[in-house]
Amino acid sequence: MKRLLLAAIPVIALYACCKEVCEDQNLLVRTQNMQAVDTDTVFLIRYKPYSRFSEKIDTVKRYSLVPVGGTTQPSAFFDYLDFNYDWKIVIPALNKEYFISYIETEKKPCHCEGGKYRAVKRFELNNVKVEGSTVVLN
């Protein structure tokens, strides 16, 4: 029993030290230069990829509570979007629409567990190529 415990300690220590997340990483969407009252209602519309936003799959209406004094509070809106679809984000209070498409992913090695996971490499936001996995709406 003592030998088993001694053999398990290095394995447990190795996994305890590893902080890397090895799950597929979707698009992070966040706002910049918007007030909380502007993003109290946001529509996330999912489309079939490469359909040029003609084949809608579904729509989610996101509500956020506006804190007291919300006209001066910055927006805390953020969400993660599945990289397997194209997306249209509508912010009615600002009369703005954002189109996210041509999402490219890459496989990255997982140093903790071995294996690989997928992460967003680049995408198009309103027909402009953007590197990385964060969509900034402003």
Q: How far apart are CA 52 and CA 102, in angstroms?
A: 10
Q: How far apart are CA 34 and CA 32, in angstroms?
A: 6
Residue 22 in 3-state DSSP? Answer: coil
Whether pTM > 0.85 for this model: the answer is no
The amino acid occupying position 38 is D
Contact assessment for residue 26 and residue 82, using Cβ atoms and an 8 Å cutoff: yes
pLDDT along the chain (138 residues), means of 10: 51 55 90 94 97 97 81 89 98 98 95 86 98 96
Which residues face 28 on adjacent strands? Answer: 80, 134
